[in-house]
Amino acid sequence: MPLPPFSDLPDSDCILGETAGDYALASRDDNRRAAALLASQARRTIELFTSDLEPALYDQAPFIDALAQLALSSPRARVRILAKDFERTVKEGHRLVELTRRLSSYVEIRRVHEDYRDNNETFLLVDDYGLLHRRHAARFEGTFSCKAPLEVRRLRAFFDEVWNRSEPDADVRRLHL
């Protein structure tokens, strides 16, 4: 049975950690809205595994504002981002990079260790429940859930493994004028 389309889900019907069910993401707009919806409900952690910081999705004011709000809401809040390649996006300007520079104690970006660069998926994990997952980073088809604790736990274990082997990137810390 196919998943219901995310585009049919009203924002008010998604309560992080409470609303069960998976939804199918089918477009850039679906992904953009899903990322902002999850991030806006974050209370502790956001983890993003991405190929290149995907400006069409993650360089958008609602998403950036939600990350900043999370980072400033608690000294325990953390935003961790793993990207395979972000040289172009750093040079062209990306609000995630600027946020990282401004709130470096709470938001950190690392370049994915070379052993994991062949992984073709992308995902966003929010707290212990929220999930946006695309098995093929170049496509917008994926899944969304406000309550997927088992899948979030599985992907977080992978994320932590990659995070621990990856290093912060000098391009992110350096201000390009």
Domain extent listing, the chain: 22-173
Q: Quick one: average pLDDT of 141-164?
A: 98
Reported as a single tens digit per residue, the pLDDT across 81-129 is 999 987 776 667 677 788 788 877 888 899 999 999 999 999 999 999 9
Q: What is the pLDDT of residue 111?
A: 93
Q: Which CATH superfamily is domain 22-173 in?
A: Endonuclease Chain A (3.30.870.10)
Element (H, E) at 40: helix 28-40
Return the closest-CA partner of residue 40 out of 154, 155, 146.
Answer: 146
The residue ranges of DSSP E strands in the chain, in sequence order, are 22-25, 45-50, 78-83, 107-111, 122-126, 130-134, 142-145, 167-168
* Higher pLDDT pick, 52 / 33: 33
Using the predicted structure, report yes or no on whether residue 66 has a pLDDT greater than 90.
yes
Tokens read off for 177? 């004028």
Torsion, Cα 106 110 116 119, to 10 degrees, reads: 70
Reported as a single tens digit per residue, the pLDDT across 5-14 is 999 999 999 9
Q: Which of 42-46, 86-90, 149-153 shows the lowest mean pLDDT across its residues?
A: 86-90
Whole-structure pTM value: 0.92
Q: What is the pLDDT of residue 136?
A: 95
Using the predicted structure, report yes or no on whether residue 51 has a pLDDT greater than 70.
yes
What sections of 52-167 are H helices per DSSP? 55-58, 61-73, 87-92, 95-102, 149-165
Q: pLDDT above 70 covers what percent of the chain?
A: 93
Q: What average pLDDT is seen over the chain?
A: 90
Q: Quick one: average pLDDT of 47-60?
A: 91
